[in-house]
């Protein structure tokens, strides 16, 4: 991720070295080391591991893994349903 790709507010936080105050922002995380912004976390670290996500969200690695598995299951289920609908609608 390039610094220019960050939102203006994230660029400002990096420049001022101050935490983001926008608590209702969808990118806000309670992680002051990276200015409370997940965009800055990815900018600094690149793609995050599940353990890094757990640390930033304040939950266990196991819980992050559960959420990942549930999400993948839902995505597979939805994709299968779409494919099934497409196949049987063309009959």
Instruction: Give the residue extent of every domain in the chain.
Output: 1-46, 48-91
Task: Give the residue carrying structure tokens 């549930």.
Answer: 70
d(C-alpha 24, C-alpha 41), whole Å: 17
CA 10 to chain centre: 15
User: Does the global pTM surpass 0.75?
Assistant: no
Q: What is the pLDDT of residues 25-71, one digit of tens each?
A: 999 999 999 999 999 999 999 999 999 999 999 999 999 999 999 99
Determine contact, residues 39/3, Cβ cutoff 8 Å: no
State the pLDDT confidence band at 89, using cuts at 50, 70 and 90: confident
Both tokens assigned to 76: 């597979």
Closest CA to 49 of 30, 31, 64: 64
Instruction: Enumerate the β-bridge partners of residue 37.
Output: 28
- In 3-state terms, what secondary structure has residue 21? coil
């Amino acid at each position: 991720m390039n610094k220019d790709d960050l939102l203006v507010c994230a660029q400002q936080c990096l420049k001022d070295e101050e935490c983001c105050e926008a608590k209702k922002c969808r990118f806000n995380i309670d992680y002051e080391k990276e200015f409370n912004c997940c965009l800055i976390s990815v900018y600094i670290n690149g793609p995050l591991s599940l353990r890094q996500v757990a640390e930033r969200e304040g939950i266990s690695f196991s819980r992050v893994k559960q959420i990942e598995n549930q999400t993948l299951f839902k995505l597979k289920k939805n994709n299968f349903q779409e494919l099934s609908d497409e196949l049987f609608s063309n009959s």
